[in-house]
Amino acid sequence: AVLRLTTTTAELRERALAALAACGVDTAALTAEGERAAAGGERVVTARTPLTGEDLFPLVASTPDHVDEAVAQAVSAFTTWRTTPAPVRGFLVKRLGALLVEHLEHLAALVTVEVGKTPSEARGEVQEMVDVCDLAVGLSRQLTGRTMPSERPGHRLQETWHPLGPVAVVSAFNFPVAVWSWNSALAVVCGDPVVWKPSELTPLTALACTALAERAARESGAPEGLFPLVLGDAEVGRRLVDDPRVPLVSATGSVPMGRDVAARVAGRFGRTLLELGGNNAAVVAPTADLDLAVRGIVFAAAGTAGQRCTTLRRLLVHTSVADELTRRLVEVYRRLPVGDPTAPGALVGPLVAPRAAEAMEAALAQAVADGGEVLVGGERVLADDAPAARYVRPAIVRMPAQTDVVRTETFAPVLYVMTYDDLADAVAVHNDVPQGLSSAIFTGDVREAEFFMAADGSDCGIVNVNIGTSGAEIGGAFGGEKETGGGRESGSDSWRAYMRRATNTVNASHELPLAQGVDFG
């Protein structure tokens, strides 16, 4: 099914401006300054929508001076914030969570306009922000260190966790608000201001979130400068990550971006938290519940038009169930409603930009050259309704082997299907890619499930059983190994990345025994 476009760029512009204004952004000033900058030949960031592929309006881009000033504001806020008790810092995040609930529909509308997500997925992303605020508020009373027994009488050994300093957050287009909240809700509770450089494709959602965060800060009596925002492309990002006043850079995006950022930050001995590309696979075993597997696979592979870092891109199916599973998947793919994400029943919206469609076309051509067979999808739809946009039918490709194109992350809805006979071989193929983000096995056999989760099983940061690769909850630590970058965000003990650890030895005795029994006169 193809869903015709029901909106125009002018309507989407009005929808975005109304949502921004509701979140507290002065839209008259914003658009006037953007127009002035564009007319004066200054650098701008152009807000656009993948629904029609057209521009909405220009915004002033940050200059190097703006970036330096943003970091200066964060440094200044840090001097007060680091000594504000953590539970008091939690008040700010509690207020932010309440504002996010109040403005859930406004933010979701902006996510749909800027990224093309269906309203349900857009709301889900904002809900994730609310959830992580809840987690952070609880954490504000649980930033615990350990005590260890000292080998010396009358001595105590303990660790204390302190705020780290301004955190730079560089984020990707595809989770324009959730990734910021994973970082900032935790960082702010940990005592760190956050300087945010969102994707140049998603400036509007960033402006709305920042307005709400600043309001939460004002209303909870926090200092100014906790949430500076800079807008621009990779050049603006580089200026920020190179700043020695920023002890931690949390960067989400492609592997080439992470490679550049990691080297730059390591060069000045800063810390990085990297959340980079994935090339996620699922194994479907002979005992799998195929009804459940089909639903899990289609959501993970075609949801968000294949533009999640956790999108399912590779399927390893046991030969005994391969034909039936593929037939059922192809049937569902043929019926997938593709098109206007705001139309009732829509499941697959647009790709973010023509570049993504070109990458998909090139990957499909290469897969066919490698001996693959496109079983369904890959074709462009709505080309007449929206010539500047890129809507595509998600594709399934049967591959004879895991060739280079399969080992590469193409950020579009392409699912490569391969077969296996022996689970150990399947796991070897599964792990034979440079990325290590998310993985899944569909099986009714507890031994197979345990093997997949064991030390010699999947090498990913996320290993699921009887559930797809995408759609993580915030309670767990999120992130992956190898080229995915090794970072962990959100739940569990991820908060530690935003703090520095001090080890304290306290002597409450009248003696001075030295460690390891050393005698010094």
**Residue whose entry in the numeric block shows the structure tokens 């998310």:** 438
Smallest distance, ligand NAD to C-beta of residue 240, A: 7
Instruction: Specify the stretch interacting with ligand NAD by CB under 6 A; choose among 31-39, 76-84, 131-139, 169-177.
Output: 169-177
DSSP, collapsed to helix, strand or coil, labels residue 498 as: helix
Residue 123's CB is within 10 A of a number of other CB atoms, namely: 18
Q: Does 429 bind ligand NAD (CB under 6 A)?
A: no
Q: Does 270 bind ligand NAD (CB under 6 A)?
A: no
By C-beta, is 115 or 298 nearer to ligand NAD?
115
DSSP, collapsed to helix, strand or coil, labels residue 299 as: helix
Instruction: Specify the stretch interacting with ligand NAD by CB under 6 A; choose among 141-149, 170-178, 337-345, 425-433.
Output: 170-178
Which of 53, 163, 237, 341 forms a contact with ligand NAD (CB under 6 A)?
A: 237
**Is there a contact between 183 and 190 (Cβ–Cβ < 8 Å)?**
no
Reported for 501-504, long-range contacts at CB under 8 A and 24+ positions apart, including other chains, are: 501/145, 501/159, 501/160, 501/161, 501/162, 502/159, 502/160, 502/161, 502/162, 503/157, 503/158, 503/159, 504/156, 504/157, 504/158, 504/159, 504/160
Q: Does 180 bind ligand NAD (CB under 6 A)?
A: no
Q: Does 411 bind ligand NAD (CB under 6 A)?
A: yes
Which of 42, 68, 219, 233 forms a contact with ligand NAD (CB under 6 A)?
A: 233
Q: Does 276 bind ligand NAD (CB under 6 A)?
A: yes
Q: Does 261 bind ligand NAD (CB under 6 A)?
A: yes
Locate the DSSP E strands across 334-457.
338-339, 373-376, 380-381, 391-392, 395-398, 414-420, 435-436, 438-442
Smallest distance, ligand NAD to C-beta of residue 310, A: 8
Q: Does 365 bind ligand NAD (CB under 6 A)?
A: no
Q: Does 196 bind ligand NAD (CB under 6 A)?
A: no
Cα 258 from chain centre: 13
Q: Does 68 bind ligand NAD (CB under 6 A)?
A: no
Q: Which of 23, 205, 25, 179 is CA-nearest to residue 114?
A: 205
By C-beta, is 161 or 175 nearer to ligand NAD?
175
Q: Does 128 bind ligand NAD (CB under 6 A)?
A: no
Q: Does 275 bind ligand NAD (CB under 6 A)?
A: yes
- b/e map 412-437, b = 16+ CB within 10 Å: bbbbbbbbbeebeebbebbbebebbb
By C-beta, is 274 or 376 nearer to ligand NAD?
274
Smallest distance, ligand NAD to C-beta of residue 504, A: 34
Which of 132, 188, 226, 437 forms a contact with ligand NAD (CB under 6 A)?
A: 437
Q: Does 257 bind ligand NAD (CB under 6 A)?
A: yes
Which of 23, 70, 204, 241 forms a contact with ligand NAD (CB under 6 A)?
A: 241
By C-beta, is 217 or 273 nearer to ligand NAD?
273
Amino acid occupying residue 160: T
Q: Does 247 bind ligand NAD (CB under 6 A)?
A: no
Catalytic residue among 114, 121, 200, 275: 275
| Interatomic CA distance for residues 338 and 392, integer angstroms | 7
Cα 168 from chain centre: 15
Q: Which of 70, 57, 61, 77 is CA-nearest to residue 15?
A: 57
Q: Does 408 bind ligand NAD (CB under 6 A)?
A: no
Active site residue 275: yes
| Interatomic CA distance for residues 469 and 488, integer angstroms | 16
Q: Does 170 bind ligand NAD (CB under 6 A)?
A: yes
Q: Does 175 bind ligand NAD (CB under 6 A)?
A: yes
Q: Does 253 bind ligand NAD (CB under 6 A)?
A: yes
DSSP, collapsed to helix, strand or coil, labels residue 432 as: coil
Smallest distance, ligand NAD to C-beta of residue 301, A: 14
Q: Which tokens in the block code for residue 78?
A: 């840090």
Q: Which of 258, 259, 265 is CA-nearest to residue 240?
A: 265
Q: Which tokens in the block code for residue 356?
A: 């993504």
Backbone dihedral angles phi then psi of residue 159, each to the nearest 5 degrees: -120, 145
By C-beta, is 199 or 494 nearer to ligand NAD?
199
Binding string, residues 309-348; x marks residues near ligand NAD by CB under 6 A: x---------------------------------------
| Interatomic CA distance for residues 414 and 521, integer angstroms | 72
By C-beta, is 224 or 260 nearer to ligand NAD?
260
The single-letter DSSP state of residue 32 is H
Which of 199, 205, 280, 443 forms a contact with ligand NAD (CB under 6 A)?
A: 199
Q: Find the DSSP H helices in 282-439.
A: 290-302, 319-335, 354-369, 423-431
Q: Which tokens in the block code for residue 163?
A: 């705020």
| Interatomic CA distance for residues 286 and 321, integer angstroms | 6
**Distance spanning both ends of the chain, measured CA to CA:** 86
Which of 193, 270, 277, 394 forms a contact with ligand NAD (CB under 6 A)?
A: 277
By C-beta, is 67 or 293 nearer to ligand NAD?
67
| Interatomic CA distance for residues 172 and 180, integer angstroms | 10
Binding site for ligand NAD (CB under 6 A): 170-175, 197, 199-200, 233-234, 237-238, 241, 252-254, 257, 260-261, 275-278, 309, 409, 411, 437, 484
**Active-site residues: which are they?**
275
